[in-house]
Structure 1
Amino acid sequence: MKAALSALAATMLAGCATTSATESPQNAFFDALSARCGKAYAGTLASDQDADAEMRGKTMVMHIRHCSADRIEIPFHIDGLGPDGGWDRSRTWIISRTTTGLRLKHDHRHADGTPDAVTLYGGDTADRGSATRQTFPVDAESIAMFTATGRSVSNSNIWSVETTGAGFTYGLNREGRHFRVAFDYARPVTPPPAPWGW
C-alpha cells in the first residue's frame, strides 16, 4: 500500500513538473500585460540617436487601454508633437495571440482619425521568448508596405516589448537604428483620452 501511494505521489508530482515546464512564456507575458489593463504609466525616451531628437525630453504616456482574451491595445501618447504643439495620440501598439505565438502591429492614425498611409505594420514572434520579453521580426506584409512607400530601410526591423516588475519597454532595432522608450510601473498616471480614431 505504501509503495502504491508513493508511486501515485511521484506520478502526480511528475505531472505537475511537466505542466510547469511546458507552460508558454508567451501566455505568461500576455497575462502579465493583461493584469495591468486600464492603467497608464509615465515614461521617457531611453535611446539617444539623432533620429530620436524630436522626442527627446518629451512627456510620454502608455495606456494599457483595452484587453480581451486574445488582444491588448496600448496607445502611446507623446506631448508636444501633436497639432499646435499638443499631444500626439496617433500611435497604438496592438499585441494579439496567434496560433503559433504573438503578433505586434502598429496602428497609426491622423488627428481626424483616418489611417496613416503606413499603418498596421509589425510582425510575429519567431521563438518562445520569455515571460518578460518578446521580439517581433518584420513580416512579409509589412516589408511590402515599406517597400511600396519608399521605406525599405525598415525591411529588417525587429521590435521588442518587455514587461517586468519594474516597467514596460518598447524597442525597435535594425542595423544603425536603435529606438527605445521606457515606462515606469511605479509612476502610474491618470489614463489619457482615447487615441485618435478610436
Structure 2
Amino acid sequence: MKWIALPLALVLAACTDGGVADDQAPVAAAETAADRFFASLSALCGKAYEGRVVSDEAADEEMRSSRLVMHVRECSDDTIRIPFHVGEDRSRTWVVSRTEEGGLRLKHDHRHPDGSEDVLTQYGGDTTAPGTATRQEFPVDSFSRDLFNREGAAVSTTNVWAIEIEPGRIFAYELRRPNRYLRAEFDLTRPVAPPPPPWGAKPEA
C-alpha cells in the first residue's frame, strides 16, 4: 500500500494549499454608482465644453445671455476641479471629491480677480443617497447652512445641487430649492479650446 501514500499526500497537500490561497485571496470591492460617476467625470479631464442655461427663470437672464464654458481642469484619484466660466467671469470652480464614507462631495470655490476668496465660498454638500452612474445629488451641508445664515443668504439653506453626466452626450449642473431652479447643460460632443485659468489658480505649465 506504500505506492498509494505519496500520491495521496500530494493530493491532500494540493487541496490544503489551494484552500489557504482561496481564503487569503483579496476580494475586490464592488464598484458603486459613485465610483462609476467619478470615473465618467475623470474621463473628461483636460477637456472643455460650451453650454447654455436650459431653465427659464428670470434670475438667470444674465447667465443665459453669456457664453458658458466648463473645463475639467485638474484631476486626481479623489478630487476633480471644474472651473465654470460665465462670459469673462472666472470666479467659479466646482470641486467634486470622494468622501471617507464612499460617497461624493460637491463644493463651490468662489474667487475674486486677485485670487482672494469670496465671502460666499466653499459651500455645497455630500451625497446622502447612492445616486446613479449618471446623476448625483448634493443636499446642502451644515457648514453651508451656517455660512448662508451668517451672510444673509438664508434662502439658500435648502439648496440641493446635482450633476449629471451622460457620456458622449451632456454634462449638466443643477440647483434646486423651493421656487428656484437652475439647470445648465454642456455639449460633450463638441470640445472647445480650454479657457484661461480661473481666478486664483496657477497658470498651466
Q: Quick one: distance in 2 between partners of 1:57 and 1:19?
A: 48
Q: Which residue of 1 aligns with 2:178?
A: 175
Q: Which residue of 2 aligns with 1:61?
A: 69
User: Unpaired segments of 5 or more residues in structure 1?
Assistant: 1-17, 80-86
Shift of 1:57: 2.3
Deviations 1:41-95 (A, max 9, x none): 010111110111111221110000000000000000011xxxxxxx000000000
> Equivalent pairs: percent with the same residue?
54
Paired residues for 1:157-196 under 5 Å? 157-165=159-167, 166-196=169-199
Q: Which residue of 1 aligns with 2:117?
A: 115
Q: Quick one: distance in 2 between partners of 1:116 and 1:32?
A: 30
Shift of 1:183: 0.2
Q: Find the partner of 1:105 among 95, 104, 107.
A: 107
1:38 to 2:41 alignment: no
1:94 maps to a residue whose letter is V
Runs of 4+ in 1 over 6 A off after TM superposition: none
Q: Which residue of 2 aligns with 1:14?
A: none
2:92 maps to a residue whose letter is R
1:190 maps to a residue whose letter is A
Secondary structure of residue in 2 paired with 1:75 = strand
User: Unpaired segments of 5 or more residues in structure 2?
Assistant: 1-26
Equivalenced residues, count:
173
Root-mean-square deviation (CA, aligned residues, Å) is 1.3
Q: Which residue of 1 aligns with 2:19?
A: none
The TM-score normalised by the length of structure 2 is 0.82
1:94 to 2:115 alignment: no
Shift of 1:187: 1.7
Q: Which residue of 2 aligns with 1:124?
A: 126
Q: Which residue of 2 aligns with 1:12?
A: none
Q: Which residue of 1 aligns with 2:21?
A: none
Shift of 1:19: 7.1
Q: Which residue of 2 aligns with 1:23?
A: 31
Secondary structure of residue in 1 paired with 2:148 = helix
Secondary structure of residue in 1 paired with 2:38 = helix
